[in-house]
């Protein structure tokens, strides 16, 4: 019986670990998708450069339940230090809507050059693509 319970727990954690966050970003007429697997650290996630001004970082921390969140950070990279433009925090688990995932359609503007970044994010089942 213990082996069955242990195997069931391992299967459940494997399924939960199979979720990823995928963000669809449009900048300068080009669209790309970046995807992030769960991490144990709220300081994880590597920023992705979007064009020459934006940095986009996803931090997906699904456990422990009382701290579970998906954090999205958008910075303008204008020189010495990146300037925060948006920090969006979503309590996990999230629910995708029919259109534009769990974030809705977002528009962010870089303050110096007025560049526009459009994005939306969704929770996906399965391994990163």
Residue 82 resides in a domain: yes
Residue 120 resides in a domain: yes
Which residue range is the domain that position 120 belongs to?
A: 19-124
**Sheet hosting strand 30-36, strand order edge to edge:** 30-36, 20-27, 116-124, 106-109
Q: What is the rounded distance in angstroms from the CA atom of residue 12 to the CA atom of residue 21?
A: 19
The confidence band for 127, taking pLDDT boundaries of 50, 70 and 90, is low
Q: How many domains does the chain have?
A: 1
Question: Which pLDDT does position 113 carry in this prediction?
Answer: 82
Residue 8 resides in a domain: no
Residue 73 resides in a domain: yes
Residue 39 resides in a domain: yes
- DSSP summary character for residue 36: E
Residue 97 resides in a domain: yes
Residue 37 resides in a domain: yes
pLDDT in tens, 47-92: 999 998 999 999 999 999 999 999 999 999 988 899 999 999 999 9
DSSP string, 90-112: EESS----SSSTTT--EEEE-TT
Residue 4 resides in a domain: no
Comparing 128 with 38, the larger pLDDT belongs to 38
């Amino acid at each position: 019986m213990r082996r069955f319970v242990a195997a069931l727990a391992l299967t459940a954690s494997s399924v939960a670990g199979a979720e990823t966050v995928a963000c669809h970003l449009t900048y300068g007429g080009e669209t790309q998708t970046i995807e992030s697997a769960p991490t144990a650290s709220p300081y994880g996630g590597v920023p992705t450069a979007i064009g020459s001004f934006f940095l986009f970082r996803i931090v997906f921390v699904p456990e422990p339940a009382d701290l579970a969140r998906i954090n999205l950070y958008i910075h303008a990279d204008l020189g010495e230090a990146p300037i925060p433009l948006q920090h969006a925090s979503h309590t996990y688990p999230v629910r995708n809507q029919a259109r534009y995932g769990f974030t809705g359609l977002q528009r962010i503007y870089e303050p110096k050059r007025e560049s526009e970044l459009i994005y939306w994010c969704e929770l996906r089942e399965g391994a990163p693509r």
